[in-house]
Amino acid sequence: MFMLFAASGLSLASIAAVYQSWRRQTGPMLYVGIGVWLLSSIAWSLSVGWEFGVLYALCLPGLLVWPFIAMNQSHMAVPLQIPQPRKLDFSPRTSIQHALHYIVVLLLLLVFSVVASLAICALLPMDITGQLATCMVISPIIWGLAVYHYLATSKKIKTVGGYLVATAVSVAILMAMPI
C-alpha cells in the first residue's frame, strides 16, 4: 500500500515539476519532472507489476494535469462581430476527390500497412508469435503514418504509385522469406 501512495505522489510531483518549469520557462525543472516521472514508473511497477505500472505511469498524467490547467485558466472578452457562416463545398469535383481519399486511406493503405508490416517482421530474427505480435503493434502506426503522408503530400498520384510498388515489394519479400 505504501508503494501505491508513493507512486501516486510521484506521478503528481512529476506533473507539478513540469508545470513549474512551464511557469518559470526553465529547463532544469523540466528534467526534474521527467526524472520524477521515471521514478513514478518504477514505483508503479514495484507496487502493481511492470505491465500495469508502465500503463498507469503513462496514463495518469492525462488526469493529474487538469488541476494545473484549471489553475491557469484565463477569460477572454466576447467579440462584438459575429462572422457570416461559410458555405460548405459539395461540388461534384470535390465530392469525388473526397471519395477517392476515402478509398486510398481505408483500403489501399490498409493493404499496404498489413503487407509492409508483415514483410518487415518476416525479416526480424524472431519466432512466428514474436513476428505476428510485432506486426500487430507496428501496422497501425505504419498505416497512420502512411495516411498522414498521403494526405499531406501534393503529389497524390505519385504517392499512390509509390505505395503500390512498396506493397508489391513487400509481397515479394513475404514469398521469399515465409513467416
Partner 1 sequence: MNKATKQSALNAHSWVGVFLSVLLFLVCLSGTIAVFHLEFERWEQPHIPEFESVEDGAVEKAMDSFLTKHPEETDHLFVVLPTSGIPRLVVENDHAAYFADEQGNLLEKENVAFTQMLVDLHLYLNLPHSWGMILVSALGAIICTLIITGVIAHKRIAKDAFKLRRGGNGQQSQIDLHNRFGLWASPFHLVIAITGTYFGLAGIVLVLVAQLNYGGDRDAVINQVFTPDPVIEAQEGKPAIGKAIAQMETIAPENPLIFVTVHEVNKPEQFIEIYAQVPGRMIYGEAYRFDTAGNYLGTAGYDDGAWGKQLLWAVYRLHFGDFAGIPSKVLYFVLGIMLTMLCVSGMEVWLSKKAHPVLATRLWYCTVWGSVSALAFTAIADMFFSGSLIAVFWGLMVLNVALTVAIKRLTKPVWLIISGISVLLLLFIYSAVNGEHALSVASLQLNIPMLIYVVWSILRGNTLLKRETLMSDFQKENQTTTHNIDGNGDKSASVSTETQSPMA
- Binding pattern for the stretch 5-34 against partner 1, x by CB under 8 A and - elsewhere: -------------xx--xx-----------
Minimum distance, C-beta of residue 169 to partner 1, in the bound complex (Å): 14
88 close to 145: Cβ distance less than 8 angstroms: no
Cα torsion through 126, 128, 130, 133, rounded to 10: 150
Select the residue interacting with partner 1 from 1, 2, 27, 82 (CB under 8 A): 82
Beta carbon nearer to partner 1, 6 or 174: 174
Site membership for partner 1, residue 101 (CB under 8 A): yes
- Cα separation, 66 vs 74, in Å, equals 14
By CB under 8 A, is residue 160 in contact with partner 1? no
Nearer to partner 1, 84 or 91 (CB): 84
Q: Among residues 141 and 165, whose Cβ is nearest to partner 1?
A: 141
- Please give the radius of gyration of the chain, using alpha carbons only, rounded to the nearest integer: 24
b/e sequence 88-124, b meaning 16+ C-beta within 10 Å: eeeeeeeeeeeeeeeebeeebbeebbbbbbbbbbbee
Pick the closer one to partner 1 by CB: 40 or 131: 131
Is there binding between residue 178 and partner 1 (CB under 8 A)?
A: yes
Residue 128 is a binding residue for partner 1 (CB under 8 A): yes
CA angle, corner 7, sides to 6 and 13, nearest 5? 85
**Out of 38, 141, 165, 169, the residue judged to bind partner 1 by CB under 8 A:** 141
